[in-house]
Chain A
Protein backbone atom coordinates (compact mmCIF):
# COMPACT_ATOMS: atom_id res chain seq x y z
CA UNK A 1 0.00 0.00 0.00
CA UNK A 2 1.29 3.43 -0.96
CA UNK A 3 1.20 5.74 2.02
CA UNK A 4 2.72 8.73 3.74
CA UNK A 5 2.89 8.61 7.52
CA UNK A 6 3.57 11.83 9.37
CA UNK A 7 5.00 12.37 12.82
CA UNK A 8 2.73 13.13 15.75
CA UNK A 9 1.26 16.33 17.08
CA UNK A 10 3.62 18.88 18.61
CA UNK A 11 3.15 21.58 21.25
CA UNK A 12 5.94 24.14 21.33
CA UNK A 13 6.73 27.56 22.73
CA UNK A 14 7.50 30.61 20.61
CA UNK A 15 11.15 30.73 19.64
CA UNK A 16 11.64 26.96 19.80
CA UNK A 17 12.78 24.87 16.85
CA UNK A 18 10.90 21.97 15.34
CA UNK A 19 11.29 19.33 12.64
CA UNK A 20 8.33 17.22 11.54
CA UNK A 21 8.55 14.21 9.28
CA UNK A 22 6.73 12.41 6.50
CA UNK A 23 7.72 8.81 5.76
CA UNK A 24 6.82 7.26 2.43
CA UNK A 25 6.31 3.58 1.82
CA UNK A 26 5.00 1.25 -0.87
CA UNK A 27 6.60 3.12 -3.77
CA UNK A 28 9.92 4.44 -5.07
CA UNK A 29 10.42 7.38 -2.70
CA UNK A 30 13.12 9.00 -4.81
CA UNK A 31 10.95 9.20 -7.94
CA UNK A 32 8.02 11.35 -6.79
CA UNK A 33 7.89 14.97 -5.71
CA UNK A 34 6.55 15.56 -2.19
CA UNK A 35 4.86 18.80 -1.24
CA UNK A 36 3.99 20.44 2.07
CA UNK A 37 0.65 22.17 2.64
CA UNK A 38 -0.41 24.31 5.59
CA UNK A 39 -3.95 24.57 6.94
CA UNK A 40 -4.46 27.08 9.71
CA UNK A 41 -7.38 26.42 12.08
CA UNK A 42 -10.67 26.80 10.24
CA UNK A 43 -8.93 28.00 7.07
CA UNK A 44 -8.05 26.76 3.61
CA UNK A 45 -5.06 25.00 2.10
CA UNK A 46 -1.79 26.83 1.45
CA UNK A 47 1.01 25.47 -0.75
CA UNK A 48 4.32 25.84 1.08
CA UNK A 49 6.86 24.12 -1.12
CA UNK A 50 7.96 20.90 -2.72
CA UNK A 51 10.98 18.61 -2.84
CA UNK A 52 12.23 15.92 -5.20
CA UNK A 53 13.83 13.34 -2.90
CA UNK A 54 15.95 11.90 -5.71
CA UNK A 55 18.25 14.93 -5.75
CA UNK A 56 16.72 17.20 -3.04
CA UNK A 57 15.70 19.82 -5.61
CA UNK A 58 13.46 22.11 -3.55
CA UNK A 59 11.06 24.92 -4.45
CA UNK A 60 9.38 27.28 -1.98
CA UNK A 61 6.42 29.57 -2.06
CA UNK A 62 7.65 33.16 -1.49
CA UNK A 63 5.26 33.27 1.48
CA UNK A 64 7.28 30.55 3.21
CA UNK A 65 10.79 31.06 1.80
CA UNK A 66 13.14 31.77 4.68
CA UNK A 67 10.51 30.80 7.25
CA UNK A 68 10.80 27.02 6.91
CA UNK A 69 13.23 24.47 5.50
CA UNK A 70 12.15 21.46 3.48
CA UNK A 71 14.52 18.52 3.24
CA UNK A 72 14.56 14.79 2.60
CA UNK A 73 16.62 11.76 3.57
CA UNK A 74 16.20 9.25 0.78
CA UNK A 75 18.03 6.55 2.73
CA UNK A 76 15.04 6.34 5.08
CA UNK A 77 12.34 7.52 2.63
CA UNK A 78 11.49 10.53 4.78
CA UNK A 79 10.78 14.16 4.01
CA UNK A 80 10.99 16.91 6.60
CA UNK A 81 9.63 20.35 7.36
CA UNK A 82 11.49 22.39 9.92
CA UNK A 83 11.43 25.71 11.72
CA UNK A 84 14.33 27.34 13.53
CA UNK A 85 12.21 29.74 15.57
CA UNK A 86 8.49 29.11 15.84
CA UNK A 87 5.86 31.81 16.12
CA UNK A 88 2.31 31.59 17.40
CA UNK A 89 1.17 32.16 13.82
CA UNK A 90 2.77 28.83 12.84
CA UNK A 91 -0.03 27.05 14.69
CA UNK A 92 -1.64 24.89 12.02
CA UNK A 93 -2.11 21.45 10.56
CA UNK A 94 0.67 20.54 8.16
CA UNK A 95 0.19 17.94 5.44
CA UNK A 96 2.71 16.26 3.19
CA UNK A 97 1.44 15.01 -0.16
CA UNK A 98 2.89 13.02 -3.05
CA UNK A 99 2.58 13.82 -6.75
CA UNK A 100 0.33 11.40 -8.62
CA UNK A 101 3.06 10.57 -11.13
CA UNK A 102 6.71 11.43 -11.67
CA UNK A 103 5.56 14.46 -13.69
CA UNK A 104 6.67 17.59 -11.81
CA UNK A 105 3.33 19.37 -12.35
CA UNK A 106 0.92 16.60 -11.48
CA UNK A 107 -1.74 16.64 -8.78
CA UNK A 108 -1.25 15.25 -5.26
CA UNK A 109 -2.85 11.86 -4.85
CA UNK A 110 -1.40 10.50 -1.61
CA UNK A 111 -1.67 12.67 1.49
CA UNK A 112 -0.27 12.15 4.95
CA UNK A 113 -2.62 12.19 7.91
CA UNK A 114 -1.39 15.62 8.94
CA UNK A 115 0.72 16.89 11.84
CA UNK A 116 -0.86 19.44 14.15
CA UNK A 117 1.63 22.01 15.39
CA UNK A 118 0.56 24.23 18.28
CA UNK A 119 2.77 27.14 19.30
CA UNK A 120 1.78 28.77 22.55
CA UNK A 121 3.50 30.37 25.51
Chain B
Protein backbone atom coordinates (compact mmCIF):
# COMPACT_ATOMS: atom_id res chain seq x y z
CA UNK B 1 0.00 0.00 0.00
CA UNK B 2 1.27 3.45 -0.90
CA UNK B 3 1.48 5.77 2.10
CA UNK B 4 0.93 9.49 1.56
CA UNK B 5 2.44 11.78 4.18
CA UNK B 6 1.32 15.39 4.26
CA UNK B 7 3.11 18.24 5.95
CA UNK B 8 2.41 20.19 7.96
CA UNK B 9 -0.50 18.67 9.87
CA UNK B 10 -1.70 22.14 10.87
CA UNK B 11 -1.03 25.64 9.69
CA UNK B 12 -2.29 28.96 11.05
CA UNK B 13 -2.10 31.64 8.37
CA UNK B 14 -3.07 35.29 7.97
CA UNK B 15 -5.23 36.38 5.01
CA UNK B 16 -3.32 37.15 1.80
CA UNK B 17 -0.44 34.97 2.92
CA UNK B 18 0.81 32.13 0.70
CA UNK B 19 0.20 28.56 1.87
CA UNK B 20 2.23 25.54 0.79
CA UNK B 21 1.20 21.99 1.64
CA UNK B 22 3.33 19.03 0.65
CA UNK B 23 2.40 15.41 0.05
CA UNK B 24 5.07 12.75 -0.15
CA UNK B 25 4.37 9.26 -1.50
CA UNK B 26 6.15 6.16 -0.21
CA UNK B 27 6.84 5.14 -3.82
CA UNK B 28 6.58 6.75 -7.23
CA UNK B 29 3.01 7.44 -8.37
CA UNK B 30 3.74 9.40 -11.52
CA UNK B 31 1.23 12.24 -11.61
CA UNK B 32 -1.76 10.29 -10.23
CA UNK B 33 -2.13 12.62 -7.27
CA UNK B 34 -5.21 14.69 -6.53
CA UNK B 35 -6.05 17.38 -3.96
CA UNK B 36 -9.33 17.98 -2.11
CA UNK B 37 -10.65 20.61 0.27
CA UNK B 38 -13.03 19.69 3.06
CA UNK B 39 -14.75 22.29 5.21
CA UNK B 40 -16.43 21.34 8.49
CA UNK B 41 -19.63 19.34 8.01
CA UNK B 42 -19.21 19.32 4.23
CA UNK B 43 -18.23 16.71 1.67
CA UNK B 44 -14.75 16.96 0.15
CA UNK B 45 -14.37 19.05 -3.00
CA UNK B 46 -11.89 18.40 -5.78
CA UNK B 47 -9.35 21.19 -6.31
CA UNK B 48 -6.55 19.73 -8.42
CA UNK B 49 -6.29 16.49 -10.34
CA UNK B 50 -3.26 14.72 -11.79
CA UNK B 51 -0.90 16.85 -9.70
CA UNK B 52 -1.35 20.12 -11.58
CA UNK B 53 -4.66 20.21 -13.48
CA UNK B 54 -7.01 22.72 -11.93
CA UNK B 55 -10.57 21.45 -11.66
CA UNK B 56 -13.37 23.44 -13.23
CA UNK B 57 -14.63 26.31 -11.10
CA UNK B 58 -11.75 26.25 -8.63
CA UNK B 59 -10.28 29.71 -7.90
CA UNK B 60 -6.99 30.39 -9.66
CA UNK B 61 -5.19 30.97 -6.36
CA UNK B 62 -5.10 27.17 -5.95
CA UNK B 63 -2.35 25.38 -7.87
CA UNK B 64 -0.54 22.07 -7.75
CA UNK B 65 2.83 20.75 -8.82
CA UNK B 66 5.07 17.73 -8.57
CA UNK B 67 5.50 14.22 -9.89
CA UNK B 68 6.93 10.92 -8.76
CA UNK B 69 6.95 11.07 -4.97
CA UNK B 70 6.81 14.76 -4.07
CA UNK B 71 3.83 17.01 -4.61
CA UNK B 72 2.77 20.48 -3.51
CA UNK B 73 -0.52 22.32 -3.18
CA UNK B 74 -0.13 26.08 -3.15
CA UNK B 75 -2.75 28.63 -2.14
CA UNK B 76 -1.72 32.09 -3.25
CA UNK B 77 -3.14 34.99 -1.28
CA UNK B 78 -5.18 33.01 1.22
CA UNK B 79 -8.78 34.10 1.78
CA UNK B 80 -10.91 33.56 4.88
CA UNK B 81 -13.10 31.07 3.00
CA UNK B 82 -10.06 28.81 2.49
CA UNK B 83 -10.13 27.68 6.11
CA UNK B 84 -10.46 23.92 5.70
CA UNK B 85 -8.66 20.60 5.81
CA UNK B 86 -6.81 19.62 2.65
CA UNK B 87 -6.18 16.04 1.56
CA UNK B 88 -4.06 14.46 -1.14
CA UNK B 89 -5.18 11.22 -2.80
CA UNK B 90 -3.28 8.78 -5.00
CA UNK B 91 -4.99 6.70 -7.67
CA UNK B 92 -1.83 5.16 -9.13
CA UNK B 93 -2.28 1.75 -7.56
CA UNK B 94 -4.74 -0.20 -5.46
CA UNK B 95 -5.62 0.31 -2.76
CA UNK B 96 -5.95 3.99 -3.38
CA UNK B 97 -5.00 6.06 -0.36
CA UNK B 98 -5.39 9.52 1.14
CA UNK B 99 -2.94 11.62 3.08
CA UNK B 100 -3.74 12.28 6.74
CA UNK B 101 -4.89 15.83 6.00
CA UNK B 102 -3.59 19.34 6.64
CA UNK B 103 -5.79 21.73 8.57
CA UNK B 104 -5.47 25.37 7.56
CA UNK B 105 -6.71 27.92 10.09
CA UNK B 106 -7.10 31.63 9.49
CA UNK B 107 -5.42 33.84 12.09
Contact = CB atoms under 8 A, between A and B. Distances in A.
Interface stretch (B12-20, B66-74, B76-84, B85-93): B85-93
A45 B34 contact: no
A107 B55 CA distance: 10
B17 to A, nearest CB: 24
B32 interface: yes
Contact of B95 (A47, A106, A107, A113): A47
B46 interface: yes
A107 B46 contact: yes
Interface in A76-90: none
Interface in B5-60: 32, 34, 36, 38, 43-46, 49-50, 55
A102 to B, nearest CB: 14
Interface residues of B, number: 25
Nearest to A112: B43
Contacts, number: 65
Given A44-B87, A45-B87, A112-B43, A107 B49 contact: yes
Contacts of A114: 43
Contacts of B55: 100, 107, 109
16 contacts: A37-B44, A44-B87, A45-B87, A45-B101, A62-B1, A62-B95, A95-B43, A100-B46, A100-B49, A107-B34, A107-B46, A107-B89, A109-B55, A111-B43, A111-B44, A113-B43
Given A35-B96, A61-B94, 15 more contacts: A37-B98, A45-B38, A45-B44, A45-B89, A47-B95, A47-B97, A59-B94, A100-B49, A100-B55, A106-B49, A106-B91, A108-B34, A109-B46, A111-B44, A111-B45
